[in-house]
Amino acid sequence: MYQKLFIPGPVNVTEDVLQKMATPMIGHRSKDASVLQKSISQKMKKIMSTNNEILLSTSSGTGLMEGAVRSCTKKRAAIFSVGAFGEKWYEMAVANGVSADLFSSELGKATSPKLVDEVLATGKYDLITITHNETSTGIMNPVEEISKVIKKYPEVVFCLDTVSSMGGVNINIDDLGVDICITSTQKCLGLPPGMSICSISQKAIEAAQNVKNRGFYFDLLKLYEYIQKKDYQYPSTPSLPHMFALDYQLDKILDEGLENRFARHKQMAQCVQQWAKKNFDLFADEAYASYTVTTIKNTKNISVAELNENLSKYGYMISNGYGNLKEKTFRIGHMADTTLKEVQELLAIIEKIIPL
Ligand code: PLP
């Protein structure tokens, strides 16, 4: 009944991590809750390479994305999109009455640092959103180059969506100058869905202080101020089961060694990309192909639904394309605790099912 998931999240969660979700409850206003949150923060700072404050949210990543664009835009947000999740960030801005403009790249292409420069040079914007790793198209943006441009505009709050890459790819938040970096538990971190995490800079905090209507649950300034005042406890009841499991899984991630973990993700990506190029084609511009999910162009016009049905007999699952790309592409997720050997096994089974 349970399948090995090679979809781009949620991912397989190891049994010991699942067991941590069943830890007996503690009071969320207890000293133990403060200790737990601080322990998570300290470890997340290492994974994100940041000294900025860490906020947890009992929501998936969308909640913090909405909170970021609403809490910190006073003037206008420049939303750069390379696919479905970039566009959603624009929809969130509009739904919250935040003035915003959407700058979309052709699907399969990365965000152009030159375009970022041109847009920010207009002086119209005080917040920018960038997708680090677009899970629909399999594009991993050149965030180093993009960040160099953004640094020319110190008045702009830089928000980065690393929902499907943090924990699998080296993203040095402080070097990049990211003000709000958002991720979710159910992707490269290897936990069940239901919690998200962000880092937040002093610049973002100061920006939020000048915004009047920041909403309620996802008011990032309120969350920040509350945890400072209340010894790292939250204004509302957090998902303590996620926190127990996250604290434990972060130890496992750090024990693996971040360099090893990042190298493993790159190896898995290279393996799937080579296979895709040999048998189909990559959807994403190869120079910017993701290390955590490969979107494969369905050049042979196979039925992805049928392939998945056959795969399920072996206990495996991959993903069809996202939205309009549904049958035009299919996606193989290679993230979290998945190993290269497991990826190779999956590819061998696909080859057995469809003669390539
Ligand atoms: N951004 C990207 C790149 C994603 O892949 C996803 C989810 O798949 C999201 C944002 C939304 O995150 P969540 O589902 O945790 O709300």
What is the enclosing helix (H) or strand (E) of 66? helix 61-72
Whether the predicted pLDDT of 324 surpasses 90:
no
Whether the predicted pLDDT of 5 surpasses 70:
yes
What is the predicted pLDDT for the residue at 327? 83
Q: What is the mean pLDDT of the chain?
A: 97
> Distance, CA 31 to ligand 1 centroid (Å)?
32
> Distance, CA 339 to ligand 1 centroid (Å)?
22
What is the enclosing helix (H) or strand (E) of 309? helix 304-313
Percent of the chain at pLDDT > 90 equals 97
- In testing the pocket of ligand 1, which one of 65, 137, 163, 185 has its CB within 8 Å of the most ligand atoms? 163
Please report the beta strands in the chain, taking only residues with DSSP state E, as ranges in sequence order. 4-5, 53-57, 77-81, 100-104, 127-131, 133-134, 139-140, 157-161, 180-184, 196-200, 281-282, 293-297, 316-317, 319-320, 329-333
Which protein residue's CA is at the shortest distance from atom 12 of ligand 1?
61
- In testing the pocket of ligand 1, which one of 58, 140, 164 has its CB within 8 Å of the most ligand atoms? 164
CA distances 183 to 164, 229, 288, Å, are 7, 24, 20
Per-residue pLDDT of 166-198, as tens digits, reads: 999 999 999 999 999 999 999 999 999 999 999
What is the predicted pLDDT for the residue at 1? 67
DSSP 8-state assignment for residue 289: B
> Distance, CA 62 to ligand 1 centroid (Å)?
6
The mean pLDDT of 320-337, rounded to a whole number, is 93
The residue behind tokens 């049905």 is 309
What is the predicted pLDDT for the residue at 305? 92
The mean pLDDT of 308-321, rounded to a whole number, is 96
Per-residue pLDDT of 235-269, as tens digits, reads: 999 999 999 999 999 999 999 999 999 999 999 99
Whether the predicted pLDDT of 221 surpasses 90:
yes
What is the predicted pLDDT for the residue at 261? 98
User: Residues with Cβ < 8 Å from 225, sequence gap 6 or more?
Assistant: none
The mean pLDDT of 59-78, rounded to a whole number, is 98
What is the predicted pLDDT for the residue at 2? 83
